Amino acid sequence: MTGSVSKEIPVASAQAAALPVTEVARLEALRRLSMGAAHALNNAFTAVVGEASFLREERKGDPAVVEACDTILRELDRCAKLTRALLARRHPPQEGRDEVDLARTVRDLTPLLRETLGRQKELAVQLPDDLLLVRGDAGALELLVLLLVHQCADVAPGPAQLRLAALAAGARTRLEIEVEADGLAEAADRAFAEPARASDPLARNQLGALVELAARHGGTCSARREGERFLATLEIPSLAHG
């Protein structure tokens, strides 16, 4: 028809902000890979638990074998407890952000931390009587504390003393962890500063998540090594100033 004019009319779509197809495919591939890895690890752990329990019973007259089997079973149980705790603390994405008392978060997590750090790591916790209110997702902040403490514990391969303190520092709320041990990882502080340069792939992912979670709450994470002492500091805005 002559004289007709075509016109494009923009229509708002709920899919406008959807992820690109390539990103969706990548995430789906990662999901499948992680599920496969989890299934394989579960099978491996089940086999190890069964064999260790059987060997412990068969060689119960040999103290060295019994102690080795007990150590293996304790470590597997420690990993299982931490995994269950993380799964139980998963929260669906939230539109808003909660008011969270970081001191209470640390206090509630302390028994789990002591249990999952293992026998070679001693944890002392110092918390104020006052509230340390921050704004954020409660589940994400719990994960942040768990990651921070466990990453600090990992800088010492053997026995270590960990001291965790939460305090108000002006407009910021601060978590400080001091690790004291005979042997510390040489590049531990550099790995905290640049997670992508961590030598271990698992450490890279966990440190990257730690830094990302801190940044998501407007915070920073830093670390420094002083001889046989390792100091890590997490700072996020206090609610009154956030």
Residue 13 lies in a domain: no
161 & 189 share domain: yes
| pLDDT of 186 higher than 80 | no
Pair 184, 196: CB distance under 8 Å: no
136 & 40 share domain: no
Mean pLDDT of 144-148: 88
The predicted pLDDT at position 106 comes to 93
Q: Which of 53, 88, 123 is the last residue of a domain?
A: 88
Residue 196 lies in a domain: yes
Lowest mean pLDDT among 105-109, 112-116, 139-143, 186-190: 186-190
| pLDDT of 23 higher than 80 | no
50 & 165 share domain: no
Contacts of 206-210 with CB under 8 Å at 24 or more apart are 206/147, 206/150, 206/151, 207/151, 209/143, 209/147, 210/144, 210/147, 210/148, 210/151
Residue 11 lies in a domain: no
Q: How confident is the model at residue 26 (pLDDT cuts 50, 70, 90)?
A: low
Residue 81 lies in a domain: yes
130 & 201 share domain: yes
CATH of the domain at 190: 3.30.565.10
138 & 206 share domain: yes
HEC per residue, 177-215: EEEECCCCCCCHHHHHHCHHHCCCHHHHHHHHHHHHHHH
Per-residue CA distances from 168 to 43, 103, 172, 235, 238 (Å) = 45, 10, 6, 10, 8
CB atoms within 10 A of CB 53: 13
Contacting residues for 71 by C-beta, under 8 A, at least 6 apart = none
The predicted pLDDT at position 15 comes to 45
76 & 117 share domain: no
Residue 8 lies in a domain: no
Q: What is the pLDDT of residues 194-208, one digit of tens each?
A: 887 777 776 777 788
Number of separate domains in the chain: 2
81 & 109 share domain: no
Q: Which of 62, 88, 114 is the last residue of a domain?
A: 88
133 & 171 share domain: yes
The predicted pLDDT at position 31 comes to 59
154 & 214 share domain: yes
Q: What is the pLDDT of residues 64-111, one digit of tens each?
A: 999 989 888 887 877 777 666 655 555 444 445 688 899 999 999 898
Helix, strand, coil percentages, rounded to 5, for the chain: 50, 20, 30
Q: How confident is the model at residue 28 (pLDDT cuts 50, 70, 90)?
A: low
Residue 218 lies in a domain: yes
| pLDDT of 50 higher than 80 | yes
Q: Quick check: pTM over 0.75?
A: no
111 & 84 share domain: no
> In whole numbers, what is the pLDDT of the chain averaged over residues?
78
| pLDDT of 20 higher than 70 | no
The predicted pLDDT at position 123 comes to 94
Structural domain containing residue 35: 21-88
